[in-house]
A and B are shown apart, each in its own frame.
Chain A
């Protein structure tokens, strides 16, 4: 119940295309869902986050879609660029715990 399942494991997208990464969870007590971006040799960096009281959040080319009834959320990267090539992690946490459960990561490669 503490797991966050992430797919796909790897993704190759053409420049200008849309990258979509999906995550699913079981624990309905989770109330905060961040996405992190990690470049080789660096620590993960917060990209965008959402709470379950909204169905979508957009920041620039990055959008989180959230489906509370299905217990799923996804990251969409519009107009994907080679500079977006990185590993993306979804995560979930319960209010007040500050303890994140991370997905297993998706390695994205955007071809020039």
Chain B
């Protein structure tokens, strides 16, 4: 298994532009999570899905952020318009049971200038 695959690995964009981050979870995992990691705030859960349905999006910082999971093998996190304070590493993780923990992807480092 290739693990959780995220793309792109790095993204540099100008303020005001739309940014789309992509994630392919591990096959058979029915939970998918989007986290954001910064030095100041650590790891923050943004949203998670179960069987492609959003369960908890209370961590999404504002309406500029949206996430979709159109099928079991793909999810996107979109920021529109992007702002410099959105600069962070965004992780996708998937899981199929609490006892097995999450498997994280390698992350997307987003820099908004």
Contacts and interface: CB of A to CB of B under 8 A. Distances in A.
Interface of A: 32, 34, 36, 41-46, 49, 89, 93, 95-100, 102-105
10 nearest CB pairs, A to B: A43-B104, A46-B101, A102-B43, A104-B42, A34-B101, A44-B104, A98-B31, A43-B91, A43-B106, A43-B105
Contact of A45 (B95, B100, B104, B107): B104
A49 B100 CA distance: 9
A96 B56 CA distance: 13
Interface residues of B, number: 22
Q: Which of B43, B45, B48, B56 has the most C-beta atoms of chain A within 10 angstroms of its own C-beta?
A: B43
A14 B33 CA distance: 36
B69 interface: no
B42 A95 contact: no
